[in-house]
Structure formats: structure tokens, C-alpha cells
Amino acid sequence: MAYEPVLTKFVNEPNSYTLDFYLKHQRGYEGLRKALTLQPNDLIEQVKASGLRGRGGAGFPTGMKWQFVLKDTPKPKYICCNADESEPGTFKDHVLMERNPHLLIEGCAISCYAIGAKVAYIYIRGEFFHVQEILEAEIDKAYKAGYLGKNILGSGFDCDVYVHRGAGAYEAGEETALIESLEGKRAQPRIKPPFPAVAGLYQCPTAVNNVETLCNVPLIVMNGAEWFSSIGPEKNGGPKLFCISGHVKRPGVYEASMHTTLRELIYEQAGGMIDERPLKAVIPGGSSVPILLPEQLDTPASFDHIQKAGSLLGSAGLIVMNDSVCMVWLAMNLLHFYRHESCGKCTPCREGSDWLFKLLRRVEAGEGQPKDLDLLFGVSNNIVGKTLCAFGDAAATPVLTTMKLFRHEYEAHVREGRCTLPASWRAEHPIFAAH
Amino acid sequence: MDSVTLTIDGRPVTVAKGKTVLQAAIESGISVPYYCYHPGISIDGSCRVCVVKIEKMPKLQTSCSTLCADGMVVSTRDRDVVEARAGVFEFLLINHPLDCPVCDKGGECPLQDFSYTFGPAESRMDFPRRVFDGEGVKADVDFGPTLMLNRNRCILCTRCVRFMKEIDGDAQIGIVDRGYGSEIATFQEQGVHSLISGNLMDVCPVGAILTKDYRFKSRPWDNPGVVDTICTLCSKGCNTSAWLKAKPEWARGSRLIRMTPRYNPDVNGYWMCDIGRFNYHWIEGENRLRRPMMRGSAGSAAQAAPLEASAWHDVQPRLRDRLQEAGSGGAFHFLASAHASMEELFVLKQLAEALLGGDAMKSVSIGWEATEKPQPATTKFKVPVTDAPNVNGARDLGFAVGRGNEGPADLSGLRKAVEAGTVKALYVIDPAGPKGSLGDISWIAAARRSGALSLLVVQAVVTSELTEAADFVLPGSAWVEKDAIYTNDQGRVQAASRAIAPPGEALEDWQILVNVGRSLGVALPYESSGDVRRALAAAMTGYSEAERLAFMRPVPASTWMQASNPSERWKWDFLFQDLPPTKGHNVQMEGLPAQATPFIPLKPVQ
Ligand SMILES: Cc1cc2nc3c(=O)[nH]c(=O)nc-3n(C[C@H](O)[C@H](O)[C@H](O)COP(=O)(O)O)c2cc1C
Ligand code: SF4
Ligand code: SF4
Ligand code: SF4
Ligand code: FES
């Protein structure tokens, strides 16, 4: 059965982002109209029944998150849409916002109604200038058409949506760091508990949801929970966007059900490997998750299946690598990113990510010693589980996963004093900033 | 109060509800290290050294951010915890300069202490360390008028950031850049400008923030004595500790080496202001009065004769004669600073009553100054306007103090009487620093020079325009040189302990008054300040506890050095319980056992 995209069906149409197009081709704002006739609680129940899981990385059930949002409080409540999308290998939210912004706007309004909020902030990644322009222009149109603002569609429900652009920090995507940044502070995470659902933005009850998560909400309201959960495996329902990058013929964003296997995604959707070279490794969920090997390609790309295979679906950013990629180089490349993006708040991540990078640079350059390998392992383990936010684990993962699966490559670097992959196969080095 | 009971390292521990696991551990004497936690500021959970294992929780938890719950089972010694903790200590030190031998925090540094206890034996780091402004003490950069900053030593605990934001009320310190490049900074490198900036040195768990006042001056092992006392520079009465440096008699420099705040939740919390912290140099300064002085021979030529240092036994009879000449009634007047202690004012009152009878209370004026201190409106540590410690005490004794601590004293009536020549003889008592504590008193000196006043007696601690105009100068003692009590602006009676002896022949001020009284035939039956307090406690309502206040003597710094950071003295109470206890030192009036006030040997007065 061929899968029919619902989130990205029209993204290649020139005018797909306009309100007119949305109303005409995507039953635009029908979901909102319908939602406003329901009780907020029933809406939450519907989202729970659909089994929608957060698309931001953790796969936490969205309905449950909304239910945790404190009800009995005189304080205002907020929806924060996480549009920081900075995980290496992840570029799906960008497409939704740029090509289908009204779906997100509608999702924000419905979600506000569901949790009793009147304001949604879309926290958008620092580099997304043009996306912000599009979003803000379309939000304006939604206001003028009466889908946002006061007394929406005559229901008495008021809702405002604002776009706030960050200053360009990966860590700003962590939900509490995002909230801090929205409040005008450094994007550094808070201690949890309290969770945002209890004390979030301005210490008020807040739900932080990913762009793709919120985009699914109007679809669930319109088509029903059953429709949603029938797409994909049990507890992994709904349409899903996959970002496929690396040594594939057609890198890009693909929409599929979570029944789809990694092999299908890579070899059918993305057109297979460039030059038909063998696939060496795939990181299935953005740079922070463990590597899967060629023999695991028949794993369905669902939260639960990927987890069972020993990795995580994360942000569904598939980074596909052929046999030219040196795994020590890969780890070094990623650690360059993590030590640059560490917010520096907590000791193990701030100090450890820098140390790991320096060790990797030395080993990769062929100047490492056997003790450096033990050290890489030891330092990584001293980070994992000891940090304030999940960044620490993410930063150590590239080292731990490559050492676990490709230790022989590390050993070869130390033994031979150089990378042993044929030079012509080497991927180009990243250009490192001065340190 | 609700309490919860949990188990830490197999020991049942009961604490008040709302306490964190770290606080529970500290209270029960179980060592858990910490850096970003400070009891006076908000919880940050960032340094990660306080990790513990809690049953039923999958990951290790930071104890500073975990609330105690009934039945919780906590381990601080589990293998996982020991290893994780050592790992964090290794991280903390990989970029730390370890220049302890030249660092002013050395010897009282929580990073040193805890690293020895909980850190790995050696570092596996073999890359060059991160360097910010230079190496060694060259990396010390100006951090405002009172402080120096050494960014290389900083462990980014953000205590200083939170202190400025939450306590000072003006978030002048921030972190710029991020990750491994994070550094402490102020806007455009302007440094910290705050009336309570000195607390940053105490708050900083390493030698990154230092006061210019203490930098390069001493090391903890050079400070053999520490005395718990209070500050008397304003009406707040912060509880403090006076630090004494070991120093041979003949060596230059002073013994008093620094003042640090001492925790009192009801008065000053963990803090003190920069006035109280840095304004002590005059005590052992050049301008101290060390010997009594008087002018040449008696008679009309007195004013022209130079002031000459003399001996108490020569000054005493001459002073008696001149005071007797000055007579009684409206012509004779006392002006006492509200820096005078309860004991001093109590003796003064008895002396005035004996000499002047019914007019006594009208013939004693109390003086003090008040200055508005510029502070952020949101500050949590407000420095009061009144620059004297005992205005409320003077009021309790029945002296007229007008609006009290709300503003400066009004001495205009006395000034009129002096300038009109109605007051002929004036006896001034001012045991406060260089500028005195009575405001502009040039009119007194002028009145003596013009002859409107025919006798001026000044009992003070430093030379001033007033002492230069005086007929008699009687050297008294600064607050750290005598055991005395003061009543702060909350009405709290607190003890200031004698940390050092007064210089030369200077005497404690109550003793001078007693001696003057006795020479005039007034029976003042006191042989020690303790005697005065006993009489005072019996005579005054609300002061029954006064005689039971504890006065501290120098505590050996060996015990102090265990306390690491002075501001964390409270920690020492709990964490280092195997050391000799000095419990109760920070509790002033809470049912302490009666303690005999030690007799202070005084030089014989003939
Ligand atoms: C270091 C870090 C970066 C993150 N970045 C993003 C991000 O860019 N976008 C996102 O949606 N979630 C990100 N997350 C996950 C969020 O913290 C949060 O779980 C998510 O926004 C919740 O939304 P969801 O329930 O809809 O998935 C990040 C988490 C961490 C620890
Ligand atoms: S783990 Fe890293 S990113 Fe997260 S709080 Fe700590 S330093 Fe910041
Ligand atoms: S300067 Fe001191 S108090 Fe401030 S962050 Fe650094 S170590 Fe902490
Ligand atoms: S606030 Fe007053 S009592 Fe406290 S240290 Fe400052 S001057 Fe002394
Ligand atoms: S003291 Fe607990 S994390 Fe710093």
C-alpha cells in the first residue's frame, strides 16, 4: 500500500505556504473549527487516543504531556513550539514551517485551546531568518482571516501566536533552555523538577512541543485518533518525517509511516547509495544517537523498533555513511560540534566535551597512544549520566558508539600513526574554528 | 514543623520538610562536597560534585537539588557515587591552574579540601591548560574598586553571578561565551561596584575573586587566632569574625588582618557590607591615641600651652581639679557618641547623675551620623542609614535620641548653648574611627579656641580636630579592643568581643569613666566590664540576658582552616565534627549557659 503524505504532500507546489492554498487544498483550519466545538479535555483525550508521540527527540506521548499541564492555577499557560531544529542531520521542521506554515499555526491554536493557553511562542532557530519572515507574514494573514486573535471563529476563544528567533545555539532546543532563552536569559537548562508543565515560561504551566508534533494535531482532530494510530506500528502511529543525509543519491525529507524500514528509506526513498558503494554505518536519529550497522537495516524506523535495535529514533535524522568514512574522524567531527555547542553550565559536559575533542583530534592525526583510547572511553563514561541535561549523554554517544563498534579503527590510528582507510576514500576534513 | 525521615549511608536522618538531601547530609555530619550550592543563594545544580545514589532512581542525583522524602534511601559511598564524583573532580581540575602556592585561597580553599578527599589521586590530562588573562598571579585583573579576578582559577560555579543578582540586587556579573570558553565578566570589564562586594570573595569557592584588601597579605596558617565578634560601624550589628595575624611585637603591619561575616539568620544572614569589612585599618593605624595628653600647667595659660603626652597618674588629678572648677548644673555637659557601648553609657549615666543630680539627663547629649547608602532598590542586604551601633541602647537607658535610627542626631541645641557660652565645660566620648562619629563638630573646636568653652575633655581613639583643641585627651578603645554589648536597630542586644588589646596606655572606655568618677569621689563599684553588665542587667528591663552573653576569645586557626571558606563557617560546625567543637559561637542570645566574663588585666591607675 503506497503511503500518501499528509504533512508534506504539497511542499513542492510554489504557493503551498499561502493561506489560500492551505484553505483550498488542505481543508485548512477545519481542525481548529472542529476543535473549538469540543471540550478541551476531550481534545486532550483524543490526542492521547491517537498515540501521538513527540517528534522532537524523546518520543514522549503528547496527550500525556498536555494532561500534566497544571490546571488549577490562576497563572496563564503557554504553548512553546520548539522550532530550534539544530541537531546535526535534522531538517524537517524547517520544511514544514517554510512550505506549510498554516498547518503549524493551526496546530498552535488547537493546542492552546486544549491546555487552556492563550499564547503560543514559536521559538525558531537563530539561523532561520527567512523562515521567520514567511511564518510572520502567514501569521498576519491568519489574524486577518480570524483564525488567530480575539474571539476566534466566533467561539470566544482568544489566541496569539508569536515567533521568537534565538541567537543560534543548539542547546536552546532543550526545552528548559528554550524557556530561559525566551525569557531573555542565557539558553541554559533548568533543574528538573519542576517540569515545564508545572513551572515553565515565566514560572507558568507550559507545554513545549516540537514543530512536527504540533503539525500533527490538526490532522488528528480532523481525521480522528483511529485514523492516526492506524498509520504505522502500534504506539508508533501517524505520519513521520525522515531527514536523510549523507552518501545517498537523493538526500532530503521523506514522509512515511513508521512501518518503513531503514533499508526502504535509504534504498527506495533516498535512491540508494552514491556510486553503489557499500553502506558502512547509519545514525538513525540525529547525531546524538548510537550507530546502526548494515545488518540492522531491516529495522522499521519506529521509536520502539529502533530502540530495540540499540539506538534511538530521536529527531529521525538518518545520517548515512559509506565505507569511505573513518569512524574516528566521524567522532572527532561530531565532538567538534558538541564542544562548541555545550552551554557550559555543568562541569562534566563543559570540561569533558573539550577534552574528548582534543583527544580525538590527537588520535585522528595519528599522534595518539593506547592510553588515549582508554581515556576516551573513561572520559565519555564520566560524562554520561552525570550532566544537568541530556546534552552530556548526546556528546559522549559518538565516542562510545564508534569505540564500541569500530574500536579496530581507533587502534589502527594509534598503531599506524595514521588513518588506514585508503586516502582517496577519505571524506574531506571539516574546517575547524580557531581554538 | 513537619519533618521527614530518610536514610543516608545506613543512618536514619530526620530533617525539616523542604530540606534537600545535601542539607540533610550536612546537618547530620555526612560529608558531601558541593560548589555551586551556597545556603544563602538559589540552587543551581551545575557543578555536579554533590551526586548521590538514591534507591529507586535510575540515575545518580545531585543532592543539592533533590528534596528529602520520607523513606528515601541515600548512599554517598556507593561505588557508582565515588567514581562519578571523582570523575567530576577530575574535570574541575583539568583546566585549573593549581597555583595554590601563590593563590590567596590556598589553605582555606574548598576546591583544595574536597579534591584531596574526593578527587582522583592524579590527573590524566596532558593538554595545555586553558588560560584567560595570563598565567599565575599575572592573570589577576582588576574587578572593580575592591576586588581582583583570576579567571583561570574560576570553576564557573556561578555563585558570584547569583549573589549579585539575588542578594546585591544588581546583576553586574555574568558569564560570556559558552561551553569551554565560558568566562566570568562584567559589562565592558567595569568590574563590580557594590556596597557589599567583599562577600564575593567569601562566596567564591576558589581563589578567583579576591579582595584587594586581603590579597598577598596573609595565609590562613599565618592567622593563629580568629575571634567571633560583631561589627559596630552601623546600626545593623552584623555578626563577624576578626582575623588576627601572627606577628612579632616589633614587626611592621597590623595584627587585625581581615573581617569576615558570621552567619546569623536574624541579623545579617551570611553577609556583611564593605564598610564593615574594609574599614578597620585605623584601629592599628598611625593616628591612634596611645597615651593620655594634657596642656602644660594649669591656669589661664592652659589654652596656649601645647598638648603633651603624659601619664594617667599625672593626668588624673589635674583633670579632677579642672572638672571640679567647671562646676555643675547647666555649665557642664557630656556629649557621647552612640558608638559608646551599653556599659560605657550605663557608667556615664551614673556618673552624670552623681555629678549633676536632677539635671543629669539634660546634660548628656548623644550624637551619631546618618548617611544614605546607594544600593539597588531590590537588594536583599540593606545597609542602614545610621552609622552607629547603639542608638537604641542609648534610648533604652533614657537618653534623648530624637528620631533614633531614622536619621542623624540633632545637636543644634547643644551647639547653640556652647556658642552662647552657657555650656562652659564639655566632655566628649567618641570611640569611633578617623572621622569620628559625631558629624561636623568643628564648632566645638572653634568654641574652645575662641574661649566660649573653657574646658574641653575628649575621650577618643584617634587624633582629630577635636583632640587637637582639647585640654585633656583620654585614649579609649575601639570596639574590637573591649568586651561590650550594643543594641542594634532591631533592639537585639549583641556582644562584641575583645580581639586585640588597646594600644599603648589606652584603656577601655568604661574604665576611664570609672576612674574619672572615682577621682571625683563618685562610687562606681566596677572592676570589670562584666561587673558593669551585671549591674546593667539588674537595673534595666529587657536586658536580663545581657550578663549571660558569650564573649569569644581567639579560636586557633587550625580549627578555622578546616572551615575552608570563611563564609561557610556553618559548614565546619556540621561537617568536621571530629574536631573540637565550638558550638554556640554564632548564637548570641539563645539560652547560652552563663559564662563568667574573663577579667581583663588593666594597667594600675594611681
Ligand atoms: C540538547 C538538546 C537539544 C534539543 N533540541 C531540540 C530541537 O532542536 N527541537 C526539538 O523539537 N526538540 C529538541 N530537544 C528536545 C526537547 O528538549 C523537547 O524534548 C522537545 O522539544 C519536546 O517536544 P515533543 O514532545 O513534541 O518532542 C532537544 C533536547 C536536547 C537535550
Ligand atoms: S549537559 Fe552540557 S548543555 Fe546540558 S547543561 Fe550541562 S553543560 Fe549545558
Ligand atoms: S568567580 Fe568564583 S564564584 Fe564566580 S563562578 Fe568563578 S568560581 Fe564561582
Ligand atoms: S551593615 Fe553595618 S553592621 Fe553590617 S558590616 Fe556593614 S557597617 Fe557593619
Ligand atoms: S552542589 Fe549540587 S550540583 Fe553543585
Residue nearest ligand 4's atom 4 by CA:
B238
Contact A348 B127 (CB under 8 A): no
Contacts of B119 in chain A (CB under 8 A): none
**Do A297 and A342 lie in a common domain?**
no
Residue A11 lies in a domain: no
Say yes or no: A331 and A302 in one domain. no
Query: How many degrees, rounded to 5, is the angle at CA B384 between CA B378 and CA B386?
Result: 155
Domain limits at A308?
A: 241-322
Mean pLDDT of chain B: 88
pTM above 0.95? no
For A:174-233, CB contacts with B below 8 A are: 186, 191
Given A205, A230, A255, which residue is the final one in a domain? A230
The per-residue pLDDT for A421 is: 85
* Domain boundaries for CATH 3.40.50.740 within chain B: 293-544
Across A309-335, average pLDDT: 96
CATH code: domain of residue A278: 3.10.20.600
As a whole number of angstroms, the distance between CA A261 and CA B573 comes to: 62
Rounded CA separation B236/B306 (Å): 40
- Asked if B47 and A347 come within 8 Å (Cβ–Cβ), the reply is yes
Given this model, what pLDDT does residue B559 score? 56
CA distance A278 to A290: 19
Residue B149 CA: nearest ligand 3 atom is: 1
Q: How far apart are CA B322 and CA B315, in angstroms?
A: 11
Burial B492-527 (b: 16+ CB within 10 A, else e): bbbbbbbbbebbebbbbbbbbbbbbbbbeebebebe
Give yes or no: residues A290 and A303 share one domain.
yes
Beta bridge partners of A65: none
Nearest bound ligand to CA B205? 3
Percent of chain A with pLDDT over 90: 94
Q: Which ligand is nearest to the CA of B239?
A: 4
Task: Please work out whether the CB of residue A343 comes within 6 Å of at least one atom of ligand 2.
Answer: yes
Predicted pLDDT at B330:
67
What is the predicted pLDDT for the residue at B572? Answer: 47
Please, which residues bridge with residue B244 across strands?
B225, B256
DSSP-based three-state secondary structure for B247: coil
B141 — phi, psi (to 5°)? Answer: -120, 155
Chosen from B85, B91, B125 to mutate, greatest number of chain A CBs within 10 A: B91
Partner-chain contact B92 A351, CB within 8 Å? yes
**Residue B198 grid cell:** 567583599
| Of A230, A249, A266, the domain-final residue | A230
Task: Note the pLDDT tens digit of each residue in B481-538.
Answer: 999 999 999 999 999 999 999 999 999 999 999 999 999 999 999 999 999 999 999 9
**Closest-approach residue (CA) in chain B for A340:** B179
Last residue of one domain, picked from the residues A211, A230, A249: A230
State whether A262 and A361 are in the same domain.
no
- The verdict on A411 and A302 lying in the same domain is no
Q: Among A342, A346, A375, whose Cβ lies nearest the Cβ of B178?
A: A342
Q: How far is A128 from chain B (nearest CA, A)?
A: 21
Flag if B46 and A342 touch (Cβ within 8 Å): no
Give pLDDT tens digits for A218-264.
999 999 999 999 999 999 999 999 999 999 999 999 999 999 999 99
Within 8 A by CB and 6+ apart from B202, the residues are: B260, B261, B270, B565, B566, B567, B568
Same domain for A313 and A173: no
Residue A318 sits in the same domain as residue A340: no
Distance between CA atoms of A174 and A62, rounded to whole angstroms?
16
Q: Do B84 and A382 touch (CB under 8 A)?
A: yes
Q: What is the nearest CA distance from B179 to chain A, expressed in angstroms?
A: 4
How many angstroms separate the CA of residue A75 from the nearest CA in chain B? 23
pLDDT tens digits along B545-597: 888 888 888 876 555 554 434 445 544 444 433 333 333 332 222 333 333 33
Taking CA atoms only, the protein residue closest to ligand 2 atom 1 is A392
Return d(Cα B550, Cα B485) in angstroms, integer. Answer: 10
For B555, half-sphere exposure in the C-beta direction (CA atoms, 13 angstrom radius) is 23
Nearest to B48 among A343, A358, A386 (CB): A386
Q: Which residues have C-beta within 8 Å of that of residue A374, sequence separation ≥ 6? A: none
DSSP bridge partners of B259: B242
Decide: B60 and A321 in contact? Cβ < 8 Å.
no
Pairing of strands A160-165, A119-124: parallel
Give Rg (Cα) of chain B. 27
Residue B328, pLDDT score: 59
ipTM above 0.90, yes or no: yes
Task: Report the alpha-carbon distance of residue B553 to residue B569 in Å, rounded.
Answer: 16
Domain of A395, CATH number, reads 1.20.1440.230
Coil, helix or strand at residue B332: strand
Q: Single out the residue of B182, B132, B138 nearest to residue B161, CA to CA.
A: B182
Note whether residue A141 is domain-resident.
Answer: yes
Instruction: Please report the atom of ligand 4 found closest to the CA of residue B237.
Output: 3
A 325-344 → B contacts, CB under 8 A = 339-344
> Per the omega criterion (within 30 degrees of 0), is the bond before B525 cis?
no
What stretch(es) of chain B map to CATH 3.30.70.20?
126-216
B392-410 per-position pLDDT tens digit = 999 999 999 999 999 999 9
| pLDDT of A428 | 54
Segment A341-353, tens digit of pLDDT:
999 999 999 999 9
User: Does one domain contain both A184 and A253?
Assistant: no
Q: For residue A186, which ligand has an atom nearest its CA?
A: 2
Q: Specify if A9 maps to a domain.
A: no
Do A37 and A135 sit in the same domain of this protein?
Answer: yes
Chain B 323-362, CB below 8 Å of chain A: which residues? none
Tell me the nearest-neighbour CA distance from B51 into chain A, angstroms. Answer: 8
Of the listed ranges A186-195, A376-385, B194-203, B555-564, the one predicted with least confidence: B555-564
- Residue A3 located in a structural domain: no
| Res. B360 pLDDT band, cuts 50 70 90 | confident
Determine whether the shortest distance from the Cβ of A388 to ligand 2 is under 6 A.
yes
Of residues B302 and A75, more confidently modeled: A75
d(CA B233, CA B337): 12
Give pLDDT tens digits for B146-178.
999 999 999 999 999 999 999 999 999 999 999
Measure Cα distances from B160 to A409, B45, B210, B585 in Å: 45, 15, 12, 27
Mean pLDDT of chain A: 95
**pLDDT at residue number A425:** 57
CA distance A39 to chain B (A): 37
CATH architecture of B3-94: Roll (3.10)
**Coil, strand or helix at B372:** coil
Same domain for A118 and A202, yes or no, is: yes
Q: Which residue has the cell 531503514?
A: A262
What is the average per-residue pLDDT within A366-380? 97
At the top level of CATH, the class of B126-216 is: alpha beta
Return the C-alpha cell found at A145: 482571516
Rounded distance from Cα A344 to ligand 2 centre (Å): 6
For position B121, what pLDDT does the model report? 83
Same-domain pairing of A308 and A353: no
Q: What average pLDDT does range A110-120 have in this prediction? A: 98
Higher pLDDT, A137 or B265: A137
* B582: contact with A, CB 8 A cutoff: no
pLDDT at A314 over 80: yes
pLDDT at A427: 53
Could you tell me the end-to-end alpha-carbon distance of chain B, in angstroms, rounded to an integer? 60
Measure CB to CB from residue B48 to each of A169, A340, A348 and give the nearest one: A348
Number of compact structural domains in chain A:
3
Q: Which residue intervals of chain B bear CATH 3.10.20.740?
A: 3-94
- Least CA distance to B83: which residue of chain A? A382
Which residues, in sequence order, are bridge partners of residue A169? Answer: none
What is the whole-number distance in angstroms between the Cα of residue B45 and the centre of ligand 5?
Answer: 4
Share of chain B above pLDDT 90, in %: 74
Let me know if residue A341 belongs to a domain. yes
Q: Which residue in chain A is spatially nearest to B129 when comparing CA positions?
A: A355
Per-residue pLDDT, averaged over A269-274, amounts to 96
In a domain, A159, yes or no: yes
CB atoms within 10 A of CB B102: 11
Q: Which of residues 355-384 of A touch B (CB under 8 A)?
A: 355, 358, 371, 375, 378, 381-382
Q: How far is A433 from chain B (nearest CA, A)?
A: 13
Is pLDDT at B132 greater than 70 in this prediction?
A: yes
Asked if B182 reaches chain A (Cβ–Cβ under 8 Å), the answer is: yes
Given an 8 Å threshold on Cβ–Cβ distance, is A350 in contact with B156? Answer: yes
Q: Quick check: is A432 in a domain?
A: no
Q: What is the pLDDT of residue B565?
A: 45
Residues A59, A182, single domain; the answer is yes
Q: Whose CA is nearest to atom 8 of ligand 4?
A: B276
Residues of A in contact with B81 (CB under 8 A): none
State pLDDT tens for residues B442-468: 999 999 999 999 999 999 999 999 999
pLDDT, one tens digit per residue, over A170-188 is 999 999 999 999 999 999 9
Contact B159, B203 (CB under 8 A): yes
Provide, as residue numbers in chain A, all residues whose Cβ is less than 8 Å from the Cβ of B156: 344, 347, 350
Closest-CA residue to A101 (of A74, A78, A81, A77)? A81
Report how far apart the first and last C-alpha atoms of chain A are (Å, whole number): 53
> Does residue B298 register a pLDDT over 70?
no
Is A350 in the B-facing interface, judged by CB distances under 8 Å?
Answer: yes
Q: Of the ligands numbered here, which is closest to the C-alpha atom of B92?
A: 3
pLDDT digits 0-9 by tens, A402-415: 999 999 999 999 99
CATH of the domain at A76: 3.40.50.11540
CB-based contact (8 Å) between B43 and chain A? yes
Q: What is the CATH number of domain B293-544?
A: 3.40.50.740
